[in-house]
Amino acid sequence: MIDYSKLLHVLDSTAFIGLDFPILQSIEVKKFLTAHSVIEELKDFRSRMNFDVMLQTNKLEVSSPNPQNFKKLKMKIHKIDPNTRLSDTDIQVLTLAWQEKGVLVTNDLTLQNIAEQLKVTTRVISGKGIKVIRKSRLRCMSCKRTFRVSGQHCPECGGVLKQYFSTSNSNNLLGKE
């Protein structure tokens, strides 16, 4: 059993969209962290506002990963997936979570998959709170198989793939997972 409230939560840009104040207050996490480069990606009003509120209420710190760790993870990621779509900003938040032994909060499927392979725990923000992702996969709408691949069509039958999360419910984050 992990007490998530004690772990540092690193936020990528997709996490800020859903992290409004009521959700933020319902989450028992002491400290959030994000990378400097994420700020430039917060273009819509909602994520910008959530970012400002978190900063003003001292819930959030902005940092940069250790450059050596960043390089190391970037190389690892390119070995896992030579055609990775992950940006330097994505890799920076992933590196922060990795080096701080924290949790990465992201709604980006590619980032979740890579994080899983680097043994970094990821959580996703939903309308009701924040959930731990057990496994993020794509599921075929026709044959119902699930895949780790990225793409729009099922490698087995050609059906349409949709994002599929296997999550555990945890609004209170008190380690009852």
Q: Which residues of the shown chain bind Zn ion in the complex (CB under 5 A)?
A: 140, 142-143, 154, 156-157, 159
Whole-number minimum distance, CB 28 to Zn ion, in Å? 40
Q: Whose Cβ is closer to Zn ion: residue 69's or residue 142's?
A: 142
Supply 131's token pair: 């959930």
Spatial separation of the C-alpha atoms in residues 38 and 89, rounded to whole Å: 6
- Count CB-CB contacts under 10 A for residue 66: 12
Closest to 1 (Cα-Cα) out of 159, 173, 150: 173
**Can you tell me the distance from the alpha carbon of 37 to that of 21, in angstroms, rounded to the nearest whole number?**
23
Residue with smaller CB distance to Zn ion, 128 or 162: 162
Residue number with CB closer to Zn ion (155 or 175): 155
Residue 2 vs 157, nearer CB to Zn ion: 157
- Least distance to Zn ion, CB of residue 150, Å: 15
Shortest distance in whole angstroms from residue 166 CB to Zn ion = 18
Q: How far apart are CA 11 and CA 16, in angstroms?
A: 7
Least Å from the CB of residue 99 to Zn ion = 38
